Amino acid sequence: MNTAHEASTAVLHERRGGVLTITLNRPAQKNAVDHEVAARLASASDQLDADPELSVGVLTGAGGVFNRLPPQPASDSQEQ
């Protein structure tokens, strides 16, 4: 990740009632999971486990892409 802002928005979470929606928010990288994203996913999962009012977790991806594993070099992300 290039900036602190990108790091802080790489994984978004929204709570609605008993549902926690977790969104991978790196569409330019096809929502690839790197170390930072994995840590943020783990934190969101911990939140889901710790809160008895949350009963469902939904994992989704922004930008029409769920996920591409593993992260690819920047030059590969330019190909389409």
pTM of the model: 0.75
**Lookup: tokens for 10:** 């790489």
Q: Kindly report, residue by residue over 25-79, the tens digit of the pLDDT.
A: 999 988 988 899 999 999 999 999 999 999 999 999 999 888 766 656 655 544 4
| HSE value, Cβ hemisphere, 13 Å, CA-based, for 55 | 3
CA dihedral angle for residue 62, residue 68, residue 69, residue 72, rounded to 10 degrees: -100
Q: Kindly report, residue by residue over 4-31, the tens digit of the pLDDT.
A: 556 679 999 999 999 999 999 999 988 9
Between CA 69 and CA 75, with CA 73 as vertex, the angle to 5 degrees is 130
- Identify how many contiguous H helices and E strands the chain contains and give both numbers: 3, 3
